Structure 1
């Protein structure tokens, strides 16, 4: 499913690009449907809530490989169905949310290029966020492969 991945770092920002062997609608539903998102993003079952509209809130409790639980909250800053999702993520002690943009571009009706971009405050934050986003995209790719086989 991951036919390409590119990483570009600019200051404290990063961009990940992948092409997935799934139609854009399927990628969008995986990213915006709580039950589907929980299955590929490593969230605790039943912990994901999404009000996918500009200003709508979201929350999820992520599970770490060592069994820890990491609650996340935020809001949707921009929503363009099947094209763009800009998510604000609440960060304790920070007045403004961290933002992550996900852009989808349909390729020949069967594949979707996904571009994920985030700007962070420090190099350490960028490195940790980029690692987390890479894991997210790995999970999304595996989920879409499993969906295609069922």
Structure 2
């Protein structure tokens, strides 16, 4: 996995995570946009994931940390271009506009896809936390695809 952080700009603090996955882009897309599959790899509490995968559609999930703390997450889909690009708006308490994260899938052959996650945050601390969470998501997704490539 490669990680890139960009210095603070007028737009905030950004990071980019890139990882090669052994699955076609359509399979990765399905894992990211199907509630039952997403819950299996994204540390979500069973039954907490809801997805209306279309521009303006809502999503929600409650994530459980390894320590057992639970965090409800909500947002909406900003851009949906199956199976190559997905932009999520994420509700942030105290922030008037949602934070956005963009997922891009680039096929590099029939069973190889490069996934790139990008996000810009308001502070370096927020960026570091979001980057750590995104890294955990990519770890979970990688393991899920390896364990169950056709689920």
TM-score, with normalisation over the residues of structure 2? Answer: 0.94
Deviation string for 1:13-42 (max 9, x for gaps)?
000001100111110000000000000000
Partner residue in 2 for 1:124? 125
Q: Give the alignment of 1:45-84 within 5 angstroms.
A: 45-84=46-85
Distance (Å, rounded) in 2 between the aligned partners of 1:149 and 1:23: 10
Distance (Å, rounded) in 2 between the aligned partners of 1:105 and 1:149: 19
Give the secondary-structure state (helix, strand or coil) at the position aligned to 1:74: strand
Give the secondary-structure state (helix, strand or coil) at the position aligned to 1:128: helix
Partner residue in 2 for 1:6? 2
Give the secondary-structure state (helix, strand or coil) at the position aligned to 2:148: helix
Cα displacement (A) at 1:112: 0.5
Partner residue in 2 for 1:88? 89
Cα displacement (A) at 1:149: 8.3
Partner residue in 2 for 1:104? 105
TM-score, with normalisation over the residues of structure 1? Answer: 0.95
Cα displacement (A) at 1:148: 2.8
Give the aligned CA root-mean-square deviation in angstroms.
1.1
